[in-house]
Amino acid sequence: MTFASIQFLFYFLPLFLLLYFSAKQIKTKNFIFVVFSLIFYSVGYTPHLLILLFSITVNYYVALAVDRNGGERRKRFLILGVVFNVLMLGFFKYTGFLIENLDFLLHPLGIYIVNPNISLPLGISFYSFHAISYIADIYKGRVRANRNPWEFVLYMTMFPQLVAGPIVRYSLVAHQLSDRRTTWGRFSAGARLFALGLAWKVLIADEVARMVDAVFDGTSNPTLLEAWTGVYAYAIQIYFDFGGYSAMAVGLGVMVGFTLPRNFRIPYAALSITDFWRRWHMSLSSWLRDYVYITLGGNRRGVGRTYANLWAVFLLCGLWHGASWNFVIWGAHHGAFLVIERAGLGKVLKRMPAAFAHIYTLLAVFLGWVWFRAETFEGAIAMFQGLFGFNGVGGYSVAFGFGLYPLSIAALVVGGIIGLWKWPRIRWSPAMKPLLAVGDYVMIALLMLFSVVWIGGGMGTPFLYYRF
């Protein structure tokens, strides 16, 4: 089940809200939230629910052990918890990748290894990181272990963020698990955010998706025009797809009294790659900073070690996104730019005109998206050949022509206007505020209506980050 589906919008969500707000006690609300979260998760593939529950059970008891012990025993339980979550994630996400590479190396020797094709449990990358941060924060004394199993299960499974984030620190929601209130103003603000996220996903990301697929999957030797159109379209698609999901997740949380972390802050308006990672997937980048980069020593052990730590973190970031060398190269791509900027380019960019820094950042990010989207290494190389004009300059293939719909082109233009610049706020006179409030509600209602119509027409695609 996805947020952008008729089943969720007309059956799951209304029934959940009806039962949730009918309950008077917080314990009852939590029980309803947990039940609906498990139903939401199990609709995708029910056996994976058992893996999720197993992970929750182990992490619950390990966290309690970390909390009640001190000294070396406390540290041993921390290591046990981290190793458990890493092994869980590694087994399901990287076993196939490891076997595939071993088979490639041993094939010349006449040794063949059968790939078991282990299916990836939905959301395991996210809930594993939730658990690691929870146990680590208990070890560092930032929070105490929650001894109420229902509250811990709710933290791990709440359906707005379970499948594709944002990555929520336990400390952010600890108090809200046992005491939260929802006012009409907060509910309205959350619903507005949900509607905007849904429109981003359905009316922009899904519309440009056909253009992206036509270039990356339908053309083997894209021309300069095709390649740059495809890369730009993918940059718009992934931002409005994942940004839309994150907005919907945060909006749903606000509707029921939870404050979830913001995940995007106009990332394509960044003026450096360092700035980009302060704006893009902020919950992941801050998680990697706090639990990996600082743990490795951060910038406290000399310049060379700092550069190595940065690169190691982004190699991990790439591998976290997917078990493929393309993702590793994507991580190395961003890590290299971060190192270069820290080595001196960052100071140069600050002295350059903002327009130059903006173009530099967009080019670096867009070129990185080639590795992220291409299905194979050979496919990425073919795209780069097109981007640099080695396959011809103009014209387009029949496959690319199928992606050029008026609505797709309109979504591409609107997405660029919204996503590539930070527009200054207009200061309206007090007399205009009532009229603007009415206009805002009308706009949200229209966006919601158009989104539902698009979904009803079967034009939607799965969220991109469901695969991670």
Distance CA 301, CA 152 (A): 37
CB atoms within 10 A of CB 384: 16
Distance CA(266)–CA(389), nearest Å, equals: 30
Residues 6 or more apart whose Cβ sits within 8 Å of residue 453? none
Residue 238 three-state SS: helix
Please identify which of the residues 48, 130, 281, 321 carries the catalytic annotation.
321
Residue count (the chain)? 468
How many C-beta neighbours within 10 Å does residue 147 have?
Answer: 12
Query: How far is it, in rounded angstroms, from Cα 420 to Cα 410?
Result: 15
The residue with tokens 């698990």 is: 177
Q: Do residues 139 and 75 touch, judged by C-beta distance below 8 A?
A: yes
CA dihedral 157, 161, 166, 168 (to 10 degrees): -40
Q: What is the rounded distance in angstroms from the CA atom of residue 115 to the CA atom of residue 92?
A: 12
- State both tokens at 338: 């971060």
107 is catalytic: no
Residues 104 and 115: their CA atoms lie apart, in Å, by 12
Active site residues per annotation: 321
